[in-house]
Amino acid sequence: MTTLTYRDVKIEQIDEVTWIIPPVKGMRVPGKIYASRKMLESIIKEDESIQQVINVATLPGIQKYSIAMPDIHWGYGFPIGGVAATDLDSGVISPGGVGYDINCGVRLARTNLTLEEVEPRLEKLVQTLFQNVPTGVGAHGALRKLSRQEIKRVLRDGAAWAVEYGYGYPEDLERTEEKGRLQMANPEAVSPRAIERGQDQVGTLGSGNHFLEVQVVQEIYDAAAAEALGLFPGQIVVMIHCGSRGLGHQVCEDYLRVLANATSKYGIVLPDKQLACAPIQSKEGQNYLGAMAAAANFAWANRQVIMSLARKSFMDALGISEKELGFRLVYDVCHNIAKIEEHQINGRTKKVCVHRKGATRAFPPGHPLTPEVYRSVGQPVLVPGDMGRYSFVAVGTERAMDETFGSTCHGAGRVKSRHQALKEGKGKDLIGEMRKQGVIVQARGMRTVAEEMPHAYKDVSEVVDVMHRAGISKKVAKLKPIGVIKG
């Protein structure tokens, strides 16, 4: 094994894809990075995310490791692709460990259809999806504008609110992380401005890296797990990637100000002000947790409604019945969240606050929080790639529980900033290039397409392979995009 150097810090290789940063510069725990050597050399060279791994390790009450996934890149406070668990009594909660887009997540739905059945009518299908699912900055109009009291119900009940109003089925909740609702949600901790921003955004996709994709199951790696998830080669599936929209962004913005004051109030010394935090048991910490959970519930309701709009679009565009379509939720995972969970710490079971920012929960077979229908194979993990190549389905493992607080990667990870991607895409027929690759794209504007082109991202297969080789999550299937709608 070998050693790499970041500035004056040594990064020690433990095995093929695992690296450790021994504690230095105020770190309370080591840093742990999952990456191939080639990936890590690139990360060291190109951004400051290694420094953020070191900074996170200084947080009060942090447990075991400050962890980074192979899709790591620079973020606000925490790196995107970062995981940290903190002690409930002596530890802190940090909005930087969740992110601005609270409960940005991924939802995968299966159908009975095959590529051969859909391909002749794909253009019409993508157009119908684009008409029915509002996209773009400030998108609105999927539902009527909800009253403040109704939005508070969404914040309290999450996906169950959407199901109650006919957007999906009760079985969807069993196939959603936390059943689509964090019980610690406190709508009263959410500001009037945040509620106002969410009133007309339930059922909207937004912009940036958010998308709805029609995909085809291209390859199966684990036949038993694929069967349990209802996946087969050549099958048409739908992947939805979005979060809590303006409401979640406002919650983060509001509480960054509150927790910046709390950091000095409680005498917490930090290497980066973007790690603003408060003791979990403090009033400020509890209010943020309640507001963050409420925004997470909003995101689950949002994806639930979008899935229902997609189901209707398929039936309208293809002229088939719901029974023929067989449109059913496989699973819904979040990857920007903090949750209270039980994990093994120094040989004993302990409740901790797990921050996952750009990281996906990956609970193993047999775990009580893995849905019963998947308990024999493990919790589904959904890893979107870029819109020109592929995405992956995986399942969680026992090793994830031992090493990463039941967490794995969440996506491809950017290698170019949005500004760089936009500059490189200037003057190109990007949508035409995608069509030549067999992908039909409908977007609200060319700017988003340029920012999200494949060259802006790592190859997600390399990211997923690192976690597979590490035994943290096991590959089940590869999905290829054939139709994309974006903001």
pLDDT at 416: 59
Q: N- to C-terminal Cα distance for the chain?
A: 45
pLDDT in tens, 261-311: 999 999 999 999 999 999 999 999 999 999 999 999 999 999 999 999 999
- 33: phi then psi, degrees, rounded to nearest 5: -125, 130
pLDDT at 413: 64
pLDDT at 142: 72
Write down all domains in the chain, each with its CATH number in brackets. 105-486 (3.90.1860.10)
Rounded Cα distance between 75 and 395, Å, is 26
pLDDT at 138 over 70: no
Q: Would you call 410 a catalytic residue per the annotation?
A: yes
Rounded Cα distance between 486 and 14, Å, is 40
Confirm if 393 and 231 have CB atoms less than 8 A apart.
Answer: yes
Mean pLDDT, residues 346-355: 96
pLDDT in tens, 29-75: 999 999 999 999 999 998 899 999 999 999 999 999 999 999 999 99
Instruction: Give me the percent of the chain exceeding a pLDDT of 70.
Output: 93
CA 361 to chain centre: 9
pLDDT in tens, 210-234: 999 999 999 999 999 999 999 999 9
pLDDT at 248: 98
pLDDT at 487 over 80: no
Encoding tokens for residue 33?
């990075």
pLDDT band (50, 70, 90) for residue 423: low
pLDDT at 66: 98
pLDDT band (50, 70, 90) for residue 444: confident
pLDDT at 418: 57
pLDDT at 9 over 60: yes
- Name the catalytic one among 241, 343, 355, 410: 410
pLDDT at 251 over 90: yes
Mean pLDDT of the chain: 93
The torsion region of residue 12 among left (phi > 0), alpha (psi -120 to 50) and beta comes to: beta
Q: Which one-letter DSSP state was computed for residue 17?
A: T
β-strands 348-357, 80-87 pairing: antiparallel
**Which of residues 417 and 157 earns the better pLDDT score?**
157
**Which of residues 163 and 419 earns the better pLDDT score?**
163
pLDDT in tens, 323-343: 999 999 999 999 999 999 999
pLDDT in tens, 382-405: 999 877 789 999 999 999 999 999
pLDDT band (50, 70, 90) for residue 436: confident
pLDDT at 242 over 60: yes
